[in-house]
Amino acid sequence: MHSNIQIRNLLTDTDLVCFVVCSLFTKEECEQLLNSERKNSFQKAIFNYPTYYRNNERLVIDDPKLSSYLFEKVKSYLPNQIETKSENEIWTLTELNNRLRFCKYNANQYFHRHLDGIHYVSKRKQSKLTFMIYLNNANEFEGGRTLFYKTKDSIDIWASYIPQQGDLMIFDHNLWHEGEEVISGEKFVLRSDILYTKDSDDDIKGIFCGHLGYIWKILMFDNETLLSAGRDKTIHIWNINGDIGQILTGHRNSILCMEKLNETTFLSGSRDKQIKVWQRNENQIFQLVNSFPMHTATVLSLCKLTNDLFASSGADNSIKIVNINGQIQYELIEHTNWVWQVIKLTDHYIASCSEDNTIKIWDYLNEKCIKTFTEHCPVICLTYDNITNTLISGDLNGEIVIRKLSNDFNEISSRKIIGHNGIVRTVLKLNEKLLASGGEDNKIKIWNIQNGSCIKEFQHENFVQSLVFTNDNKLLSASYDGTIKVWTI
C-alpha cells in the first residue's frame, strides 16, 4: 500500500465496507482500460435489464489476464477476511471476478437504487464486495454521482460520491446504492466483484436447499414433483418434501421462466435467449430433448396453449406462438417494451402485460390485439380466473388491480389494492375468495378478493419472485434469498 494514496471511508456509522482509494489508477491506465475498441463497443443494457431499473450502456468481457492484473494492483487495500455474523463464517480474500463490465452513461441515463447480486462460483466461493473504477473525470459530465442509502426505501441520501478519474470504489454487496442520472456529457466506469472463499465447507442443510443465489421460478410438475430455476443456470427437481432428485444444466444464463406443456414435458426460458424442452422418461428422469433460440433478448415468460403449442414473451417486446419443435406459428408485435408475462384466457385468447404500462388481450390465431388496458406504470404480472372472468394484475408501484371482464373482455368493473411497498412480482388466485401476491418488500400477502383486505402475511429475506399452490392447500414461495418456503393457508 502506497503511503501517498488517500483512502476515504464513505460510511463511518456502519461495519459494512465502503471506501474510495483516490487516484489509484493513472490517467494513462484509465485510457488504456477504456481503449477506442471498447469505447466503440457498448450496447444498451435494455436487452438484459428493464428501463425502470437501468437504461445505460455496457460492455461485458471475460478477461482473466486483465482481472489478475487489476487484482494485484488493488488487493493490498482490500480486507483480507470478512466475517458474516449471521452465519458466523469467515471468508478469505481470493481474486477478482474475471467478468468485467464497462458501463457508459449518456445524458438521461441512470442505474436506479439496487443491491449488487452475489457472483457464486460455488457454495464456498462467492463475491462479497463490489469493485468499481471511475474511468473519466466528473468535469466531463453533469450529475452521475454514486449515491448510498440505508434501506431500499430511505428518502435521505446516506452518502454520495462525485467520481474522479482513477478512483477505485469498494463497497459491500449489502449496500443500497444507485448511479445518479447523468444530465449531460458521458460517464464511464469499470465494475467487477471481489471474490472470497469460505474456510468451512459445511453445506447448508434443510428442505429445498441447493440453489446458489436468486430463485426466479418454481413450478409444480405433478402432485409430488416441484421444479425450481434460478440465477445459477440450473433447474432443480424436488420431491414434495424438499429432497432433491436431479439438477438439470444446459442454459448459459439465468433461467427466468418454466411451463409444463404436457404430462411428460416442460419448457424453460433464459437470459441466454434460448427455450429448452425437457422430457421425463419411463425411469422418471428428465432429459433435454430440444433447444432453440426464440427471442433476440431475454425470454421472460412461457405459457401453455395446447399440449404441443405455447406462447413465449421476451425483452425484445414480442410475443411468439410456437410449437414444441420450435417453429413459430404466429408473432404478436404491438408492445413497445418488455413483455413481462403472457397468460392463457381461453382457447383462442391470451393476455400480456408490459413495461410499456399496458395489458393487452390478443386473438392470437388471427394475430390481432382486441383490447388494451392502459395503466400509469409498468405492469409486471398477471393471473386470470376463467370461471368468474376476473383478470388480476400487479404493477411497479405495488398496486394490484382486479378487473371483472365480460365474455368479450370488456371491463365491467375494476378496483385497486395497495398491495406491496415495492414492485408486485407475482399474483396467484388460490380459490374463489383468496388471492396471493409476492413483492419486492420481501412479503407474501394473502388477500380477500371480495373486500380487498389482507388476511395474512409471510416474510422472506429478499424479493418474492414466484408462488405455487398445492392440492393440499400449501403455498410455496421462491425468493431472491435463494430459498423456497412452505406456508400453510
Residue (of 63, 61, 119, 59) closest to 94 by Cα position: 119
44 with 27: CB under 8 angstroms?
Answer: no
Confidence at residue 45, expressed as pLDDT on a 0 to 100 scale: 80
Evaluate if residue 9 carries a pLDDT over 90.
yes
> DSSP assignment of 389-432, as one string?
TEEEEEETTSEEEEEEE-TT--EEEEEEEE--SS-EEEEEE-SS
Taking residue 110's Cβ as centre, other Cβ atoms within 10 Å add up to 18
The C-alpha cell of 14 is what? 456502519
Model confidence at 203, pLDDT cuts 50, 70, 90, reads low
Which of these, 461, 463, 472, lies nearest to 438 by C-alpha position?
A: 463
At 201 the pLDDT is 60
Rounded Cα gap, residues 122 and 99, in angstroms: 16
CATH 3.90.1720.10 fits 215-488, yes or no: no
Indicate the range of 6-15, 133-142, 206-215, 392-401 predicted with least confidence: 206-215
Identify the pLDDT of residue 338.
Answer: 97
User: What is the pLDDT, as a whole number, of residue 44?
Assistant: 85
| Distances, alpha carbon 39 to alpha carbons 27, 61, 138, 141, 464, in Å | 16, 13, 18, 16, 37
Mean pLDDT of the chain: 95
Virtual torsion, Cα 144, 146, 147, 151, nearest 10 deg? 130
171's CB contacts (< 8 A; 6+ apart) are 10, 16, 17, 18, 19, 129, 130, 148, 177
Look at residue 204 and tell me whether its pLDDT is greater than 70: no
What Rg, from alpha-carbon coordinates, does the chain have? 23
- pLDDT: which is higher, 203 or 402: 402
Amino acid at 11: L
pLDDT for the residue numbered 348: 93
Amino acid at 382: L
Burial class (CB in 10 A: 0-12, 13-18, 19+), 374: exposed
Beta strand segments in 49-120, E: 57-62, 81-84, 89-96, 99-105, 111-114
User: Taking CA 366 as the corner, what is the angle to CA 365 and CA 368, rounded to the nearest 5 degrees?
Assistant: 115
pLDDT tens digits, one per residue of 220-246: 999 999 999 999 999 999 999 999 999
Average pLDDT estimate for 397-423: 96
- The pLDDT assigned to 12 comes to 93
Determine the 3-state secondary structure of 31 from DSSP. helix
Q: What does the pLDDT look like over 35-85, one tens digit per residue? A: 999 999 999 887 788 999 999 999 999 999 999 999 999 999 999 999 987
- pLDDT > 90: percent of the chain: 91
Query: How many angstroms separate the CA atoms of 402 and 414, rounded?
Result: 5
* Residue 445: predicted pLDDT: 98
CA dihedral 371, 316, 332, 340 (to 10 degrees): -40
Instruction: Give the pLDDT band (50/70/90) at residue 1.
Output: low
**Residue 175's pLDDT is what?**
97
Alpha carbon 127 to chain centroid, angstroms: 17
Fold of 7-198: Jelly Rolls (2.60.120)
pTM: 0.93
3-state secondary structure of 92: strand
Q: What is the residue extent of each domain of the chain?
A: 7-198, 215-488
What one-letter code names the amino acid at 98?
Answer: N
From the list 411, 406, 392, the residue with the least C-alpha distance to 449 is 392
Q: Which helix (H) or strand (E) is 300 found in, with range?
A: strand 299-306
> What are the two backbone dihedrals, phi and then psi, of residue 28, each rounded to the nearest 5 degrees?
-65, -40
Between strands 187-198 and 125-134, the pairing is: antiparallel
C-alpha distances out from residue 108 to 55, 57, 113, 141, 179, Å: 9, 12, 16, 11, 11
264, 285 contact by CB (below 8 A): no
Sheet bearing 454-459, strands edge to edge: 424-429, 434-439, 443-448, 454-459
7-198 and 215-488: identical CATH topology: no
